[in-house]
A and B are shown apart, each in its own frame.
Chain A
Amino acid sequence: MLKITNLKVELEEESKEILKGINLEIESGSVHAIMGPNGSGKSTLSYVLSGKKGYKVTNGEVELAGEPILELEPEERAASGLFLAFQYPVEIPGVGNMTFLRTAMNSQRKFRGEAELSAADFLKLVREKAKELKIDAEMLKRPVNVGFSGGEKKRNEILQMALLEPKMCVLDETDSGLDVDAMKLVADGVNALRDKGRSFLVITHYQRLLDHIKPDFVHIMADGRIIKSGGPELALQVENNGYSDLLAEVQ
């Protein structure tokens, strides 16, 4: 589904290398987790994948379902099935959540040459999805993320994911700022969306999210590289011993 080959990335403003040759292949339907200490380049990877400005790719390639995506605009990557659940979902005052979701959905459909959904059909769909994810309809009427609690913001991300039905979901520290109950709700939402046609890349500091979203593979990232890959047991090792052992091992 997603294939990253020797990806090297610098900050645009200063020639500081953040990603120093990432290789990663994610099969269709699988869940990969990336863990790593602060400053290891985890969030940068999610931004580069989704096409945020401010980064310069100096080497490597990224393919989504066999197609290179690094030359595409963010909205084109989105329409091709890439979704990023933000660590800090952005507030858009005055824009109703419903309007935002409908605009996003129809933009993607238009891009793919599909018919736009009517207001009525969209309403039906969004209500259905919200119900499945146990999201209060009230949240749909409020402006995008404005005045939302940390948990509500993250659940709103999952709702968007459910509606847009992406092929490749990148979750950037979705557990940050959540208490245990909120985290469980979010994880349940993600688990409900697991499907053989959909892959996940879960970026997190802590093992605890991975108790709820069980990964098939775990990668440890440090200083812009993946230093170790393994199964779910690798996450437990980090939980018990921290990153220092792993870092020492590599050096």
Chain B
Amino acid sequence: MTSLEANDSVKDGVDQETVEAVRNVGGHYKYGWETEIEMDYAPKGLDSDIVRLISAKNNEPEWMTNWRLDAFSRWEKMEEPNWAMVDYPKIDYQDIYYYASPKSMAEKPKSLDDVDPKLLETYKKLGIPLKEQLILAGVEGAEEANLDERKVAVDAVFDSVSIGTTFKDELRKAGVIFCSISEAITDYPELVKKYLGSVVPVTDNYFATLNSAVFSDGSFVYIPEGVRCPMELSTYFRINAENTGQFERTLIIAEKGSYVSYLEGCTAPKRDTNQLHAAIVELVILEDAEVKYSTVQNWYPGDENGLGGIYNFVTKRADCRGDRSKVMWTQVETGSAVTWKYPSCILRGNESQGEFYSIAIANNFQQADTGTKMIHLGKNTKSRIVSKGISAGNAQNTYRGLVTMHPKATSSRNYTQCDSLLIGNKCGAHTVPYIEVKNNSSRVEHEATTSKVDDDQLFYCRQRGVNEEDAVALVVNGFCKEVLQALPMEFAMEAQQLVAISLEGSVG
């Protein structure tokens, strides 16, 4: 374990003003407004009746209700993990609403035309209009990049329910199923039964077990054999209701030789209280199939004093079951007060490949403990990890990763590059790589660096006429370039701007 506190051994690159400027940040979070809408809540707190109630709200079959109840009884016996380098007050699980749905969603709308205009307006304001248009609107520069031909289908999740899904018909023509998970449980029970919990078992970890008991909605994707999904798919998660947890669940199944690129975005209103978000994403990837999963996580990070913000405890895992299957996780983590997230790859198939590209930014009092696991089980498997952690203000940013080569995973390779960038002298960057190699024909490489945005770089930019904030954004975007390049075009531009916004005020 290597650990580096900014204020001891690193040369002080940015002067004292930095720290003061960081204190003055705030008000830059663009998505902090809330939608005023009448909501249906389940009673506060959690017991088996609440689990039954959530199941009933979704009109679930009995097997699903029992699955949830089983998860709940296991969760009751589990302990919240404390190994991550994050520090937060104890969560009172009985002081949270586990289900909140707009009243207008009581009767499921038949099509997007029937959806409450207030909800449509919400997504429009977020830059995600739920219309079947050619490109994701609201992404500046999208036109410039000549994306006319690109379509993005959206599933919009608002608190506990999915509002609607675009391009369903067109996707169905290609054989692709893209719908909310609650619909999938009703309409495709065989697929759900077969794959739900097969990648992240019910008892995987505390938060995963909780999610298994109370998840209310999320997205479901099925790409049939040999099909290349004709457009990008995306889910946009919005937490709106106060004191409400969001527990979504995403399941993507890529049959033999298929391909899909999936994007995920998330935001929440500004509030003084913390809110819990515990999600699960499961990817099942069969022979020769490929899944790209990109996330831009922009949950409300809390204010400059560390008040409020989302607690983000997420379990994401891909199972490369088939030979030559491939997965690529790309994440840009800029939001949340606390992030606990390790998108992982089980490289089960021979010659399967896993990639993980990550940018994690922590400013003010944010804490991020994030990384990946690469579990090499098959022969000639390959993985690549590129992690860029940026810390500013009083934030703590930890990369935690596991690379394991099992005895049968002969001739496998991993390359890990883990870079940390510090802005100011009160933040910290930590790298915790675990490496286990149980055969002698595999190769694992790990490179790590820690650096500071130094005054010389900023002065050089400023002498050329670039103001200080733009200079920081320029330097940081350069630092993140490899990861930004791994994102789909629409997200790359948004992410680049987000990097700049997240660090606003981080220098004097």
User: Closest CB of chain B to A8's CB: distance in Å?
Assistant: 22
Query: Which residue on chain B has the smallest CB distance to residue A85?
Result: B463
CB-based contact A74/B457 at 8 Å: no
Stretch at the interface among A91-99, A128-136, A182-190, A209-217: A91-99
CB-based contact A92/B463 at 8 Å: no
Complex Cα–Cα for A26 and B477 (A): 39
CB-based contact A107/B460 at 8 Å: no
CB-based contact A94/B456 at 8 Å: no
- The answer to the question of B28 belonging to the interface, with a C-beta cut-off of 8 Å to chain A, is no
- The answer to the question of B33 belonging to the interface, with a C-beta cut-off of 8 Å to chain A, is no
Query: Which residue on chain A has the smallest CB distance to residue B455?
Result: A53
**A111 and B465 in contact (CB under 8 A), knowing A86-B460, A90-B456, A103-B470?**
yes
CB-based contact A75/B459 at 8 Å: no
- The answer to the question of A104 belonging to the interface, with a C-beta cut-off of 8 Å to chain B, is yes
**A103 and B459 in contact (CB under 8 A), knowing A93-B479, A160-B464, A164-B464?**
no
- The answer to the question of B481 belonging to the interface, with a C-beta cut-off of 8 Å to chain A, is yes
A residues within 8 A CB of B466?
75, 103-104, 107
**A104 and B461 in contact (CB under 8 A), knowing A53-B15, A53-B455?**
yes
Complex Cα–Cα for A84 and B478 (A): 23
CB-based contact B467/A92 at 8 Å: no
- The answer to the question of A52 belonging to the interface, with a C-beta cut-off of 8 Å to chain B, is yes
Complex Cα–Cα for A107 and B468 (A): 11
Partner of A95, one of B15, B467, B474: B474
User: Closest CB of chain A to B477's CB: distance in Å?
Assistant: 7
Query: Which residue on chain B has the smallest CB distance to residue A104?
Result: B464
User: Closest CB of chain A to B425's CB: distance in Å?
Assistant: 15
Complex Cα–Cα for A26 and B395 (A): 48
Complex Cα–Cα for A52 and B461 (A): 11
- The answer to the question of B115 belonging to the interface, with a C-beta cut-off of 8 Å to chain A, is no
| Residue from A51, A83, A95, A143 having most chain B Cβ neighbours under 10 A | A95
CB-based contact A84/B465 at 8 Å: no
Complex Cα–Cα for A104 and B475 (A): 13
CB-based contact A78/B463 at 8 Å: yes
B residues within 8 A CB of A104?
461, 464-466
- The answer to the question of B462 belonging to the interface, with a C-beta cut-off of 8 Å to chain A, is yes
User: Closest CB of chain B to A82's CB: distance in Å?
Assistant: 8
- The answer to the question of B233 belonging to the interface, with a C-beta cut-off of 8 Å to chain A, is no
Contacts of B150-182 to chain A: CB distance below 8 A: none
CB-based contact A94/B459 at 8 Å: no
| Residue from A52, A94, A99 having most chain B Cβ neighbours under 10 A | A94
A residues within 8 A CB of B463?
50-51, 74-75, 77-78, 83-84, 86
CB-based contact B460/A89 at 8 Å: yes
CB-based contact B477/A95 at 8 Å: yes
- The answer to the question of A73 belonging to the interface, with a C-beta cut-off of 8 Å to chain B, is yes
B residues within 8 A CB of A111?
465
User: Closest CB of chain B to A66's CB: distance in Å?
Assistant: 20
CB-based contact B465/A107 at 8 Å: yes
**A75 and B478 in contact (CB under 8 A), knowing A53-B455, A90-B456?**
no
Contacts of B435-457 to chain A: CB distance below 8 A: 455-457
User: Closest CB of chain B to A244's CB: distance in Å?
Assistant: 33
CB-based contact A53/B459 at 8 Å: yes
- The answer to the question of B480 belonging to the interface, with a C-beta cut-off of 8 Å to chain A, is yes
User: Closest CB of chain B to A88's CB: distance in Å?
Assistant: 8
User: Closest CB of chain A to B265's CB: distance in Å?
Assistant: 24
Chain B: number of interface residues, binned into ranges:
20 to 34
CB-based contact B465/A92 at 8 Å: no
Partner of B467, one of A51, A53, A54, A75: A75
Chain A: number of interface residues, binned into ranges:
20 to 34
Partner of A78, one of B462, B468, B470, B480: B462
CB-based contact B478/A164 at 8 Å: no
| Residue from A50, A51, A83, A104 having most chain B Cβ neighbours under 10 A | A104
Contacts of B452-508 to chain A: CB distance below 8 A: 455-457, 459-468, 470, 474-475, 477-482
A residues within 8 A CB of B461?
92, 100, 103-104
CB-based contact A107/B470 at 8 Å: yes
Complex Cα–Cα for A83 and B482 (A): 31
CB-based contact B465/A79 at 8 Å: yes
Query: Which residue on chain A has the smallest CB distance to residue B479?
Result: A94
User: Closest CB of chain B to A78's CB: distance in Å?
Assistant: 4
A residues within 8 A CB of B464?
78, 100, 104, 107-108, 160, 164
A residues within 8 A CB of B456?
90
CB-based contact A95/B475 at 8 Å: yes
Partner of A94, one of B460, B470, B477: B477
Complex Cα–Cα for A79 and B480 (A): 28
Partner of B478, one of A53, A93, A160: A93
Complex Cα–Cα for A143 and B479 (A): 11
Query: Which residue on chain A has the smallest CB distance to residue B459?
Result: A52
Complex Cα–Cα for A51 and B464 (A): 12
Query: Which residue on chain A has the smallest CB distance to residue B460?
Result: A90
Query: Which residue on chain A has the smallest CB distance to residue B419?
Result: A93
Complex Cα–Cα for A147 and B201 (A): 48
A residues within 8 A CB of B465?
75, 78-79, 104-105, 107-108, 111, 164
Complex Cα–Cα for A145 and B471 (A): 16
Complex Cα–Cα for A129 and B377 (A): 55
Complex Cα–Cα for A74 and B455 (A): 12
A residues within 8 A CB of B477?
94-95
User: Closest CB of chain A to B508's CB: distance in Å?
Assistant: 9
* Binary per-residue interface labels of chain A (142-155) against chain B in the complex, 1 for a CB within 8 Å, 0 otherwise: 01000000000000
A residues within 8 A CB of B470?
103, 107
B residues within 8 A CB of A53?
15, 455, 459
B residues within 8 A CB of A107?
464-467, 470
A residues within 8 A CB of B455?
53-54
Can you give 15 A-B contacts (C-beta < 8 A)?
A73-B462, A75-B463, A75-B467, A78-B463, A78-B464, A78-B465, A90-B459, A92-B457, A94-B479, A99-B474, A104-B465, A107-B470, A108-B465, A111-B465, A160-B464
Apart from A53-B455, A73-B462, list 11 A-B contacts with CB within 8 A.
A50-B463, A75-B467, A79-B465, A90-B460, A92-B475, A93-B479, A95-B477, A103-B474, A104-B465, A107-B470, A164-B465
- The 3 A-B residue pairs with the shortest CB-CB distance in the complex, in nearest-first order: A94-B478, A95-B478, A104-B464
**Which residues of A line the B interface, CB within 8 A?**
50-54, 73-75, 77-79, 83-84, 86, 89-90, 92-95, 99-100, 103-105, 107-108, 111, 143, 160, 164
